[in-house]
Amino acid sequence: MESPGDTISGVINAWNDMIETENESVRERLSDLEKKVLEQGDEIVCLRSTLADVLRRLNQLEGSRPVTVTPLKNGANRGIINNVPNNNSLSKDPLRYRAANDTNPTRDNIRRVPSYGNSTNTPNTPSSLPQR
């Protein structure tokens, strides 16, 4: 028969083995999550670059194709494709995208929507990514 000391020692060794196995599993999971964060950071940089390119192209086209908006029931606006308004359109003024270098004081300021992608980027913390 085993002595109580041997039983306790066996339980402690088994417990230590389980903890070590769990720690290794947590380290592997953390490593996988860190890889995902890096990949998603790269993807965000690419998406921001693509968005900046699209906005630049829109600004180039702003003089040739204005977009008319139609108010919807919920208060939002819907753009009309090919600048062909429908019969119930309430807006007669075309909506245009403002060029980044446009300094015309008669134009309305563009409303900026904050990014919620990173909780460490507060309004007082500048982003390291290029801004418009």
Kindly report, residue by residue over 49-107, the tens digit of the pLDDT: 999 999 999 999 986 655 565 666 666 655 544 444 444 444 444 445 555 555 554 44
Task: Give the other-Cβ count within 10 Å of 80's Cβ.
Answer: 17
* Mean confidence (pLDDT) of the chain: 72
- pTM of the shown model: 0.38
Query: Which of 43-47, 117-121, 125-129 is the most confident on average?
Result: 43-47
Let me know if residue 121 belongs to a domain.
no
Task: Give the other-Cβ count within 10 Å of 15's Cβ.
Answer: 10
Let me know if residue 22 belongs to a domain.
yes
82 secondary structure, DSSP code: G
**Domain tally, the chain:** 1
Rg of the Cα atoms in the chain: 29
Let me know if residue 10 belongs to a domain.
yes
